[in-house]
Structure 1
Amino acid sequence: MPTIRRLPETLVNRIAAGEVVERPAAALKELVENAVDAGAGRIVVKLVEGGLDSLEVTDDGCGMTPQDMALALERHATSKLPDEAIEKVTTLGFRGEALPSIASVARFTLESRPQGAQEGWRKVIDHGAPVEEGPAALPVGTRVRVENLFGRIPARRKFLRTARSEYAACLDVVRRLAMARPDIAFTLEHGARRILALQASDALPDRVAQLIARELKDNAVEIDMERGAMRLTGIAGLPTYNRGVADHQYLFVNGRPVKDRLLTGAVRGAYADMLARDRHAVLALFLELPAEEVDVNVHPAKTEVRFRDAAAVRGFIVSGLRQALATGDRRSAQSPDAAAMGRWISEPVRAEPAAALRSMFEGRDWSAPSAHVAENRNEWAPSQATDTAFAPPSGRAEEAAPMPEDASAYPLGIARGQIADTYIVAEAEDGLVLVDQHAAHERLVLERLRAAGAGEATTRSQALLMPEVVELEETACDRLEEAAEGLARLGLEIERFGPSAMLVRAVPHALRKGHPAKLLRDIDDDLVTHGEALLLGEKLDLVLATMACHGSVRAGRVLRIEEMNALLREMERTPRSGQCNHGRPTWVKLSMSDVEKLFGRH
């Protein structure tokens, strides 16, 4: 019979390290969180070979005495739980596992000096074995160096990725923690290069834009909303400012960076009818709620959380995001695409005039206006007989009406003409506006359908002549039965029909031609993934969006000037008119200064 024995402390620490420290980025996260919890005002991170060779974290926090340092290297010893109320923890760390776990799988150097001490103290642990201890010279604060991670555990070392991949993971860790605390200065160095140098005075939108993309600040809306004890702040990119992957979504709960399926699903639900399915929003959201309403003790890595009232949290995020985006509802990604503008500006002009215009410009030096033309000048050859003096027009304009006195009341300007029977050209007080008539009208029709009653399809249901029995796993039936009341409000009426079957009595009116069995399976998959049925609402939105698309002004249709102006005025009144139902911009603006630059006036 096998003998039960106590494992040695070094092996216990290595087992714990497998949960806490699976790569350099995980060790870095624990050390930076410790620095934040220590009250640091400045944190400096230094990496060598992506952290594979070494990583170092220096802070100017409260520091530790030699006795505290010895305790900190023992398992489950921490200063972050003054009592046993773990459900009210407010610090980033609290388990007391990080330092001993890291020290058991690397050469670990801990140096610290508390306020008022004449000198610091230094302890060195090499893969769990103490090797050195003594005084150290350093300012008030703590410095931790981790070298040769998993150096004596080749079975773990070989599973680490390349230095470039490990560096990318470390950079993501620092970005998330720096984003959460704009009041702390962060410096990140990789080898001899300085990657980040963030000052402590940064405002939250500035800090987020610095870390994600500088253009985000001009293409986003700020969020600051409260509901009861919950508060949501941050910055959310306009639907037209999106990415092909979801790695630019940063979510925080009580200052803690998390990767939570419920929060990710809430973001997807908020942008559901404003983004194409293969595009993802860019944002940073900070959710604050009482500590007892969220469980952070779910996983040793502390990146997962569990909410006491998940439905309320999700509803608050969805409504908060939609309300914030409504404040920028007539905005799109304001600047035209840079590459498109570059091609416009550098469009080569004809080195010599067409035959019909040659006599008008006889003797002119055609290289004078542009160095670009001079460099690419070719010898002029007589045009073929088929050449024409003017290209056929692709647009049309009507007699311009004077700008109204209250021009500032018309952000999208006054229509001046139409290009290719698809794009409306308007003159605004501060620039030139181009509108995609089909994309714009598609959004207007969708919002009109909702407001006028077509949106009631989400509450009206179509009773089935013969209720349909759908066989599912028992656990799936349990989930659907629990969600039945909410699904009924969306028009889907179901009830339990034995241990492993559901009876479908009615479906949403807009989905009356669908397949109830497939619909139920899709909703159950969504419940497993997100904890709440998003898919049904998205299907209904898709139906309305399809109806809007077919009922909109098509590209290629000639519009009268009155129709163009009516479209512009309705866009100014309609929520989210800056993007179509697929997340594409409905209009772009070229400021007067940009127009003047095109003609060399500035």
Structure 2
Amino acid sequence: MSIIKQMDERLANMIAAGEVVERPASIVKELVENSIDAKATEINIFIKENGLKEIRVVDNGIGMDNEDAKKAFLRHATSKIKTEFDLERIRTLGFRGEALAAILSVSRITLKTRQSNSEGFFVRYEDSKLIDEGTTSLNEGTEITVNDLFYNTPARLKYIKSEFSERAAIIDMFDRLALSNPTVRLSLTIDEKLVKETYGNNDYYSLMRQVYGNNVLKDLIVFEKEFQKIKIKGYLASPSVSRARKKDISLFVNGRYIMNYGLTQSIIDGYHSFLMVNRYPLAILLIEMDPVLLDVNVHPQKLEVKFANESLLKYHIELFVKESLMSRPHEIPQNLSIIKRQEYENEPVTINESFIPRKETYVKESLDFVYNDNSNKQTEEQPEIKKIPDFSYVGTFAGTYLLFQNEQGMYMIDQHAAEERVNYEYYFDVIGNPKIVIKEMFLSRNLELTNEDLNLIKNHLNDFKELGFNFNEKMQLISHPTFLLDKDLDDAISVMLQMLEEKNQIDLKILLDNLAKSKSCKASIKANDTLSRKEIDVLIEKLRKTKNPYTCPHGRPTIIHLTYYEIERMFRRVVWWKKLLLLLDQLHQEKRCIQ
């Protein structure tokens, strides 16, 4: 007797719902994407009890006729694709025909829709069955209401997270949808309170302000690049606006929000040495490419895609991000959080007439990375924006921090971090693009490694050999590449073993970067080392010529700016008109940034 039976349609849909409908935010995503595919220019989202009681999406799209309103809930029913040819050239957000059927299997749904020059029509479903239909009053477009999510699958409710988590997930999904569709007006109302709204005016500066706040627009970097008919537009927040998690790195391909570890990591690598370890940037990347070059039919949620040549795309993204960050000066951080807790608005003040808050104006000069006495020659062929303003030396604090001043305030420079940055860029230039030339060792060298390490080397002998490392039968080192000194071998082998354990491959770029960091740290001035005035001048001159003078190779700041405004406030010399001047100056700078 046969024991294999075909599932009924309702059971199959409930299983599929586990892939499509993870939480209320998943339903918001699917319904809004359907509205966008229906050419809607305005979409309003209404949530009750974090989506478990009700999710309602109202749009002004083209609507559906009566027959399509019923077919829309059939599994694999779609208007987006018809043939295999269409599957290879998907330009819509939805196409699988699974979302509505999956949502219907775990909720109660009412759909209202009206096309131009026709009357409205509604259908109501429960337990995956049509229970009511008829005419209704409605503006042109579609309104779909999802009630009582997971009412028939109580086991799924156990996996719903806290009220705060579900609300945050819905808001985060709204932000992604808004960022990927700047021409669509969106609003989100939760429990009858308007939470977020966008204007649909195709203004990314305005959109980012609404999603992330004004602080993100400060020192925002925008770039547009193209290679092999692939267009990439990036919005990169200043390194000073960093995050503890990667979630604020957003990737969009042909208007679709995606999650891709490789591309995300390439953006992080582009910010390399601009951020401290375990800090991540806020960045938005918009990619436009021929749909033939990617496969979006990878996962039911359509959050994952495959690229025809992902390695090439990652290389260019990292390059574009790094070039954009290097191409302009960044605001020197002003870290005074402890002082800023004190407010003196109601205290008596003394007016200092000489105080006028203003931004630093940077001028252009030549760029020369050769550290010698002739490095000040200026040429019109190599213009560079001055990344550190001119200032005069004042003194040294705690034997470690060099103090400077100009009309903008006081600057503190960490002498160790500053020379570490100088040395890092020098060493990386020297060993960054090495030729693999093998140096035979006169005497074989025993490495202080565990048996586990030795076995790892044996399993990857070819990888080591390609880089110029050769071993004899006793696993003693008998040759190494010439770009490594004997004293650097132990550090290099240790880094290579760590990469093999974590990634099962050796990345030469990471190896050289770690070696440059190690060499630069050991060769740099230490804290409490006394410097002469000549040594200080030479150090600052070298720091000015680095590509990134703001941070050490590990992302720690090299320089901190204490403005006159902050100093005056500490001494209670701030008056209302000074604050007004500062506010007007900030508004002027934001306006210039937007323009």
Q: Cα offset for 1:312?
A: 0.5
Q: Secondary structure at the match of 1:286?
A: strand
The number of aligned residues is 525
Q: Which consecutive residues of structure 2, in runs of 5 or more, have no partner in the other structure?
A: 351-384, 448-452, 579-595
Other-structure match for 2:432: 455
Instruction: Mark the CA change 1:184 to 1:440 in structure 2 (over 3 Å): closer, same or farther.
Output: farther
Other-structure match for 1:92: 93
Aligned residue identity for 2:401? Y
Take 2:425 and 2:491, find their aligned partners in 1: how far apart are those partners?
24
Take 2:437 and 2:203, find their aligned partners in 1: how far apart are those partners?
47
Take 1:58 and 1:68, find their aligned partners in 2: how far apart are those partners?
18
Q: How does 1:223-242 map to 2 (within 5 A)?
A: 223-242=223-242
Q: Cα offset for 1:217?
A: 1.7
Query: Is the Cα–Cα contact under 8 Å of residues 269 and 534 in structure 1 kept in the other structure?
Result: no
Query: Is the Cα–Cα contact under 8 Å of residues 387 and 549 in structure 2 kept in the other structure?
Result: no
Take 1:65 and 1:541, find their aligned partners in 2: how far apart are those partners?
61
Q: Secondary structure at the match of 2:432?
A: helix
Which whole-Å deviations, capped at 9, do the CAs of 1:451-480 have from their partners, x for residues lacking one?
3x2435685666675899965799x97xx9
Other-structure match for 2:542: 570
Query: Is the Cα–Cα contact under 8 Å of residues 51 and 163 in structure 1 kept in the other structure?
Result: no
Take 1:233 and 1:551, find their aligned partners in 2: how far apart are those partners?
39
Instruction: Mark the CA change 1:230 to 1:153 in structure 2 (over 3 Å): closer, same or farther.
Output: same
Q: How does 1:373-384 map to 2 (within 5 A)?
A: none
Q: Cα offset for 1:196?
A: 0.6
Instruction: Mark the CA change 1:467 to 1:251 in structure 2 (over 3 Å): closer, same or farther.
Output: farther
Aligned residue identity for 2:6? R
Q: Which one of the candidate residues 329, 334, 337 is aligned to 2:335?
A: 337
Aligned residue identity for 2:542? E
Instruction: Mark the CA change 1:368 to 1:600 in structure 2 (over 3 Å): closer, same or farther.
Output: closer
Does 140-149 or 210-219 show the bigger shift? 210-219
Q: Secondary structure at the match of 1:417?
A: strand
1:539 aligns with 2:511: yes
Take 1:564 and 1:461, find their aligned partners in 2: how far apart are those partners?
39
Which whole-Å deviations, capped at 9, do the CAs of 1:392-429 have from their partners, x for residues lacking one?
xxxxxxxxxxxxxxxx9685222231241433343446
Query: Is the Cα–Cα contact under 8 Å of residues 415 and 561 in structure 1 kept in the other structure?
Result: no
Instruction: Mark the CA change 1:264 to 1:92 in structure 2 (over 3 Å): closer, same or farther.
Output: same
Does 338-347 or 108-117 show the bigger shift? 338-347
Q: How does 1:212-251 map to 2 (within 5 A)?
A: 212-251=212-251
Other-structure match for 1:417: 394
Take 1:255 and 1:312, find their aligned partners in 2: how far apart are those partners?
21
Does 553-562 or 310-319 show the bigger shift? 553-562
Take 2:255 and 2:225, find their aligned partners in 1: how far apart are those partners?
16
Q: Secondary structure at the match of 1:512?
A: helix
Which whole-Å deviations, capped at 9, do the CAs of 1:215-238 have from their partners, x for residues lacking one?
122144223211122222122233
Q: Secondary structure at the match of 1:509?
A: coil
Does 3-12 or 192-201 show the bigger shift? 3-12
Instruction: Mark the CA change 1:580 to 1:203 in structure 2 (over 3 Å): closer, same or farther.
Output: farther
Q: Cα offset for 1:335?
A: 4.7
1:210 aligns with 2:210: yes
Take 2:62 and 2:470, find their aligned partners in 1: how far apart are those partners?
59
Which whole-Å deviations, capped at 9, do the CAs of 1:537-563 have from their partners, x for residues lacking one?
323312211221222233334445555
Q: Secondary structure at the match of 2:490?
A: coil
Does 255-264 or 292-301 show the bigger shift? 255-264
Which whole-Å deviations, capped at 9, do the CAs of 1:458-516 have from their partners, x for residues lacking one?
85666675899965799x97xx97xx69x94xx36699x9xxxxx99756737622585
Which whole-Å deviations, capped at 9, do the CAs of 1:9-29 have from their partners, x for residues lacking one?
211211211211121111111
Q: Secondary structure at the match of 2:246?
A: coil
Query: Is the Cα–Cα contact under 8 Å of residues 108 and 146 in structure 1 kept in the other structure?
Result: yes
Other-structure match for 1:385: none
Q: How does 1:38-437 map to 2 (within 5 A)?
A: 38-81=38-81, 83-85=83-85, 86-117=87-118, 119-328=119-328, 330-332=329-331, 334-337=332-335, 339-343=337-341, 368-369=348-349, 411-420=388-397, 421-428=399-406, 430-437=408-415
Take 1:460 and 1:209, find their aligned partners in 2: how far apart are those partners?
52
Which whole-Å deviations, capped at 9, do the CAs of 1:161-196 have from their partners, x for residues lacking one?
232221111111111111111121211111132211
Q: Secondary structure at the match of 1:226?
A: strand
Take 2:25 and 2:323, find their aligned partners in 1: how far apart are those partners?
36
Q: Secondary structure at the match of 1:31?
A: helix
Query: Is the Cα–Cα contact under 8 Å of residues 492 and 511 in structure 2 kept in the other structure?
Result: no
Q: Secondary structure at the match of 1:200?
A: coil
Query: Is the Cα–Cα contact under 8 Å of residues 296 and 304 in structure 1 kept in the other structure?
Result: yes
Query: Is the Cα–Cα contact under 8 Å of residues 431 and 512 in structure 2 kept in the other structure?
Result: no
Take 2:178 and 2:470, find their aligned partners in 1: how far apart are those partners?
47
Other-structure match for 1:588: 560
Does 583-592 or 559-568 show the bigger shift? 559-568
Aligned residue identity for 1:445? N
Q: Cα offset for 1:301?
A: 0.9
Take 1:515 and 1:440, find their aligned partners in 2: how far apart are those partners?
24
Q: TM-score, normalised by structure 2?
A: 0.79
Take 1:267 and 1:283, find their aligned partners in 2: how far apart are those partners?
8
Which whole-Å deviations, capped at 9, do the CAs of 1:509-539 have from their partners, x for residues lacking one?
3762258598357336425xxxxx5754323
Take 2:83 and 2:564, find their aligned partners in 1: how far apart are those partners?
63
Q: Secondary structure at the match of 1:513?
A: helix
Other-structure match for 2:355: none
Instruction: Mark the CA change 1:155 to 1:410 in structure 2 (over 3 Å): closer, same or farther.
Output: closer
Which whole-Å deviations, capped at 9, do the CAs of 1:121-169 have from their partners, x for residues lacking one?
1111113011111112221111111111110111222322232221111
Q: Secondary structure at the match of 1:88?
A: coil
Other-structure match for 1:600: 574
Take 1:252 and 1:473, find their aligned partners in 2: how far apart are those partners?
40
Q: Secondary structure at the match of 2:218?
A: helix
Q: Which one of the candidate residues 418, 423, 428 is aligned to 1:445?
A: 423
Does 429-438 or 83-92 show the bigger shift? 429-438
